[in-house]
């Protein structure tokens, strides 16, 4: 029996646009190198395809510098997709650009109508529930509206809180299988993962907490050897992908795809 939390047949990605150099960032640590980002993005897409999944590759959107981070636009579940309502005003238009693609692959589409806001980077779907982290981009009204939608589909949603200074809930955690979570120690200390098997990122390697389990592979940012070794010893097949340029825009492995 397949596990829809990490076993997928499809993914949606979007190529970075030249305007990505103007993308949002919490702290300016340098301008992204578009050429390097395109190489890394191609490696990411090829890795998804290597599992046998179909990858729908969307063209760049010059009008939306952050549009390569497609995860924030929607939540994809077996029952249907939910169009998000981003908390960053400059990203609101990305949802309308993603909607036609999702309507082509899903029979049922719901949407967050507001006034609340919610982004996909704050949503972690596990084998037992949907965890949603309140953050600067996701507010109480957005969480409440999503809870009503997914409740209709039989899902239990639990609201948790993203640590101060952390952009998205999944900046500090990711799903390794239906019951196992990779997390920073600071996020796990909140108690939000009680009852789960939790693997901590190595000290000083908190920046690699955002990985994705995609079929038999775990895609993680390159350069975090101790955490990669921890995951390898735990029995996971790790593929390291350079994330130096996306990291300049607070982006990680999960941000770059919608998976279903």
**CATH number of the domain to which 133 belongs:** 3.75.10.10
User: Which of 76, 208, 246, 255 is an active site residue?
Assistant: 255
DSSP lists the bridge partners of residue 111 as 83
Give catalytic status of residue 246 as yes or no: no
pLDDT of residue 1: 63
- Residue 203, class by beta-carbon neighbours within 10 Å (0-12 exposed, 13-18 middle, 19+ buried)? exposed
Give catalytic status of residue 255 as yes or no: yes
Looking at the domain assignment, is residue 5 inside a domain?
A: no
Per-residue pLDDT of the chain (260 residues; tens, 9 = 90+): 689 999 999 999 999 999 999 988 877 888 999 999 999 999 999 999 999 999 999 999 999 999 999 999 999 999 999 999 999 999 999 999 999 999 999 999 999 999 999 999 999 999 999 999 999 999 999 999 999 999 999 999 999 998 888 889 999 999 999 999 999 999 999 999 999 999 999 999 999 999 999 999 999 999 999 999 999 999 999 999 999 999 999 999 999 999 99
Provide CB contacts within 8 A for 210, sequence distance 6+.
170, 171, 172, 173, 174, 221, 252, 253, 254, 255
What is the H or E stretch that residue 245 is in?
helix 244-247
152 is in an annotated binding site: no
217 is in an annotated binding site: no
Looking at the domain assignment, is residue 181 inside a domain?
A: yes
Residue from 82, 121, 119 nearest 99 by CA: 82
24 is in an annotated binding site: yes
124 is in an annotated binding site: no
pLDDT of residue 27: 79
Looking at the domain assignment, is residue 191 inside a domain?
A: yes
Write down the pTM of the prediction. 0.96
Looking at the domain assignment, is residue 161 inside a domain?
A: yes
Residue from 208, 199, 191, 75 nearest 130 by CA: 75
Looking at the domain assignment, is residue 236 inside a domain?
A: yes
Looking at the domain assignment, is residue 2 inside a domain?
A: no
33 is in an annotated binding site: no
Total domain count, the chain: 1
User: Which of 76, 168, 208, 246 is an active site residue?
Assistant: 168
DSSP 187: H
Looking at the domain assignment, is residue 89 inside a domain?
A: yes
Q: How far is CA 21 from CA 24, 160, 199, in A?
A: 9, 32, 34
Give residue 117's domain range.
10-259
Looking at the domain assignment, is residue 3 inside a domain?
A: no
């Amino acid at each position: 029996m397949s596990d829809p939390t990490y076993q997928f047949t499809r993914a949606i990605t979007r190529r970075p646009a030249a305007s990505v150099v103007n993308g949002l960032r919490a702290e300016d640590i340098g301008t992204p190198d578009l050429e390097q980002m395109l190489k890394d993005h191609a490696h990411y897409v090829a890795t998804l395809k290597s599992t046998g999944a179909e990858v729908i590759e969307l063209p760049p959107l010059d009008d939306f510098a952050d549009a390569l981070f497609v995860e924030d636009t929607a939540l994809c579940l077996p029952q249907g997709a939910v169009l998000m309502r981003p908390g960053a005003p400059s990203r609101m238009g990305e949802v309308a650009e993603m909607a036609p693609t999702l309507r082509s692959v899903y029979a049922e589409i719901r949407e967050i109508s507001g006034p609340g806001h919610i982004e996909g980077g704050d949503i972690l779907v596990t084998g037992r529930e949907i965890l949603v982290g309140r953050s600067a981009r996701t507010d109480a009204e957005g969480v409440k509206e999503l809870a009503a939608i997914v409740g209709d589909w039989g899902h239990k949603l639990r609201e948790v809180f993203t640590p101060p200074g952390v952009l998205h809930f999944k900046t500090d955690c990711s799903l390794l299988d239906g019951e196992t979570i990779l997390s920073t120690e600071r996020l796990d200390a909140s108690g939000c993962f009680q009852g789960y098997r939790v693997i901590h990122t190595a000290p000083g390697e908190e920046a690699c907490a955002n990985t994705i389990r995609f079929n038999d592979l775990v895609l993680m940012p390159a350069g975090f050897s101790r955490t990669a070794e921890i995951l390898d010893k735990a029995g996971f097949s790790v593929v390291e992908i350079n994330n130096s340029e996306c990291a300049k825009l607070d982006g990680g492995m999960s941000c770059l795809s919608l998976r279903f």
